[in-house]
Structure 1
Amino acid sequence: MQLNVSAVDTPKKSASWGAVFSMSLCVAMLIAAEFLPVSLLTPIADSLNATEGQAGQAISISGFFAVLASLLMSTVAGRFNRKWVLVSLTSLMLLSLVIIAVTPNFAILMLSRALLGICIGGFWALGTAVIMRLVPIESVSKALAVMYTGQAVAAAFAAPIGSYLGAIIGWRGVFWVLVPIVIVNLIWQLIALPSLPTNERQSFHTLLTVLKRPYFARGIAAVVFAFAGAFSMFAYLRPFLETITGGNVVTLSQLFLALGLAGFIGSWAAGKFANENVIRFLQVVPVVMGLVTLGLLGFGHIVVVTALLLAIWGAMNTAMSISWMAWLSQNVDDAPEAAGSLIVAAIQGAILLGAGFGGVLLDYAGIIATFSGSIFLSAIAFMLVGSGKRLLKAA
């Protein structure tokens, strides 16, 4: 099913880049809101009388609803103007942040995370397709890198600032800090995003047709294991740093900062090189992430080594997202919204499974088992990518 770009309004190039940057800020807020519980896991669990494994499921629940939203977005949204869909999703993120900041118990926390999951799944499902309409095809990888710079910013500053501020103003206060930023982002989107009408309505049949493509189905399987491997480790990084590395609040903040700042390197590298070397990136990333996790198991008690390993992991984490979206834009360019819905569902499902898998291992076997499980999943992702020939539409 072809995306009829010629039948929709094409925004001016000068306005388009402003819209891309507004989407980058939205990504930063989404990532910050989704993964702040990683740096605040212990105080959240203590405050709501939950185990750390249970608190980690706050990430899983957002992933579950993100899966549903990503699969339904291109069908339920129908022919709604994509600008107003994105604005509505940002408004929903604002509501979620307010609810989590005032949550009285674990049940309401999970409700707020469910709302956030809808926003995450909806935004990512449409994000790549919208980018492809905002800039010329030769600028897609660059625009994706700009959008994912928001992920690098959030990864760099959300966790360390969240960890630091959490000790000063409490974990609820940390979420309140995000509220005015999201309001500014909402206003920016209203101004910068051009009208993005669509003349096509996706159906579940379209999704199934795309999924039946052998190269795409294999890619989706690799996506699931790659992201599950990453987040079965990342969701429980704070307990590891507390128990194995033995870091205090200041050390934790510094380590999270090292991880996050390296994301800018990964964003730059993927934005510059992934377009011509996408398969190489898809091969290297899970291998390096698995080796880093193995290195943490062996040398995680040494703070300097841990900081270096986390920096490498952070660069790979950002590069992973951009690389898979670049793969999508090159190999499913005839149905980007359908493919976007499916790959986002796969990613969010992987986050759900990874965080859930890691939480069970943490509660019943300990943090070493959690990290070992992460390495195993990353190895499967690498095997599925293989030489990469079976991930290409021409193969």
Structure 2
Amino acid sequence: MPLALFALAVAAFGIGTTEFVIMGLLPDVANDLHITIPRAGLLITGYALGVVFGAPILAVATANMPRKATLLGMTVMFILGNVLCALAPDYLSLMAARVITALCHGAFFGIGSVVAAGLVAPNKRAQAISMMFTGLTLANVLGVPLGTALGQFAGWRSTFWAVAVIGLVALLAQIIWLPRVIPMEKGNLAREFRVLRKGNVLLSLGMSVMASTSLFSVFTYIAPILQGVTGIAPHGVTLMLLLFGVGLTGGSMLGGRLADTRLLPSLVAMALAVVLTMAAFSQTSHLLIPAAITLVLWGVFAFALCPMLQLLIIDQAHEAPNLGSTLNQSAFNLGNAIGAWLGGVVVASGANLADLPWTGAICGVLTLVTALFFIYRQRQQALRTDGITR
């Protein structure tokens, strides 16, 4: 089973790389396609919206398809999307190729999480999900810096060719290592969407949106903070981001272990830790070593929430785990877009960059409050059920 999870992690690495590497290649893309930087930036927005709106539809459309065939199909779509990006003759073609790749992103992570959780013993489900998400965190540590360097050296199109090769490796790994038959429940369209009427499902998705908003309201502007407040040279920012990536990877594994033992208490603890870390960063960002330590801790706590929230939505949307899990990816990307916008509004208002982490802290408080309300709601439901039983 670890080899099957490794196959999913390789695909996650490629998908994570293709999502974020465009940020480092925007000037190259803009110059080559003769467009402005802001217009090139819409390639990021288009990708996020492709995940938010398209992925749940694709998840429902494939609800009754065999799981292995579905994942292989998503991977083929991923490869095709990156090849089309590499060949795109103009801006609109590149945007369409990015959206095609985005559809694969959300559906693959959503369905892949359900498959990963089903490949292991019940008490190892969150660890299996976190192992898959380790590929996503490693994409930020290795894939994005290397992909950006390759694109700057050999042209931005070379990066998408390289990611397509990663997709081929992931496709072969899944063909070889994923079980031929993966147990699944037959999907029902009405049942799939009926799950959205459940309060606990909506609360779970809300936590994902707010946790992601907290992260990206600050992380989107981390380079200006490190250069303008901490006083780090541009080349030093890469090293700091590498430290942050190490924290992300460790946090994903930690979150998996904690979620398999005490999911909800661990979720509250990590949400609180994010709030405290963000508040601390408003002070530690002025000094190199404290800022570096805070970045590592922030990465640990922020990404420990990912496997926890993914497992939570799978549990709460058990009648439609594929749709629920995919919607969680949509929620994360929606938070990505909201966070980047919110941080931009704060910066444009004239606020000091050193105070921007307070925005992340406030969003983190909303995550924490929602988690506490979720626990309260569950306890009330348990009391009512117990009363009816008696």
Match of 1:378 in 2: 364
Measured at CA, do residues 134 and 257 of structure 1 come closer, stay the same or move farther in structure 2, by a change above 3 Å? same
Cα separation, 1, equivalents of 2:362 and 2:148: 29
Measured at CA, do residues 93 and 20 of structure 1 come closer, stay the same or move farther in structure 2, by a change above 3 Å? same
- Deviation of 1:344 (Å): 2.5
Cα separation, 1, equivalents of 2:233 and 2:145: 12
- In the alignment, structure 1 segments of 5+ residues that lack a partner are 1-15
C-alpha contact 1:159 1:257 (8 A) present in aligned 2: no
Cα separation, 2, equivalents of 1:97 and 1:360: 32
Cα separation, 2, equivalents of 1:290 and 1:46: 40
- What one-letter code is carried by the residue in structure 2 that aligns with 1:201? G
Match of 1:389 among 328, 352, 375: 375
C-alpha contact 1:41 1:238 (8 A) present in aligned 2: no
Match of 1:134 among 113, 119, 122: 119
C-alpha contact 1:266 1:315 (8 A) present in aligned 2: yes
Aligned counterparts, 1:67-216, within 5 A? 67-103=52-88, 105-193=90-178, 194-196=180-182, 198=184, 200-203=186-189, 205-216=190-201
C-alpha contact 2:205 2:313 (8 A) present in aligned 1: no
C-alpha contact 1:160 1:255 (8 A) present in aligned 2: no
- Deviation of 1:36 (Å): 1.8
- In the alignment, structure 2 segments of 5+ residues that lack a partner are 383-390
Match of 1:315 in 2: 300
Cα separation, 2, equivalents of 1:201 and 1:264: 33
- Deviation of 1:18 (Å): 2.4
- Deviation of 1:123 (Å): 0.8
Match of 1:234 among 207, 219, 222: 219
Measured at CA, do residues 372 and 312 of structure 1 come closer, stay the same or move farther in structure 2, by a change above 3 Å? same
Further displaced range: 364-373 or 73-82: 364-373
Measured at CA, do residues 100 and 225 of structure 1 come closer, stay the same or move farther in structure 2, by a change above 3 Å? same
- What one-letter code is carried by the residue in structure 1 that aligns with 2:106? G
Match of 2:43 in 1: 58
TM-score by structure 1 length?
Answer: 0.83
- Residues 1:251 and 2:236 are matched in the alignment: yes
Cα separation, 2, equivalents of 1:359 and 1:302: 24
Cα separation, 2, equivalents of 1:42 and 1:236: 17
Deviations 1:84-127 (A, max 9, x none): 21112112222222333454554444323212210111112212
Measured at CA, do residues 377 and 161 of structure 1 come closer, stay the same or move farther in structure 2, by a change above 3 Å? same
Q: What is the total number of aligned residue pairs between the two structures? A: 378
Match of 2:325 in 1: 340
Measured at CA, do residues 233 and 104 of structure 1 come closer, stay the same or move farther in structure 2, by a change above 3 Å? farther
Higher RCO (C-alpha 8 Å, min separation 6): 1
Percent identity reads: 23
Cα separation, 2, equivalents of 1:62 and 1:175: 15
Match of 1:12 in 2: none
Match of 2:289 in 1: 304
Cα separation, 1, equivalents of 2:252 and 2:228: 31
The DSSP-based 3-state class of the residue aligned with 1:386 is: helix
- Deviation of 1:217 (Å): 2.0
Cα separation, 2, equivalents of 1:221 and 1:33: 26
Further displaced range: 206-215 or 75-84: 206-215
Cα separation, 2, equivalents of 1:295 and 1:44: 37
Cα separation, 2, equivalents of 1:93 and 1:357: 30
Cα separation, 1, equivalents of 2:50 and 2:14: 18
C-alpha contact 1:299 1:305 (8 A) present in aligned 2: yes
- What one-letter code is carried by the residue in structure 1 that aligns with 2:337? L
- What one-letter code is carried by the residue in structure 2 that aligns with 1:375? A
C-alpha contact 1:232 1:355 (8 A) present in aligned 2: yes
TM-score by structure 2 length?
Answer: 0.84
The DSSP-based 3-state class of the residue aligned with 2:21 is: helix
Measured at CA, do residues 199 and 331 of structure 1 come closer, stay the same or move farther in structure 2, by a change above 3 Å? closer
Measured at CA, do residues 316 and 186 of structure 1 come closer, stay the same or move farther in structure 2, by a change above 3 Å? same
Measured at CA, do residues 197 and 286 of structure 1 come closer, stay the same or move farther in structure 2, by a change above 3 Å? closer
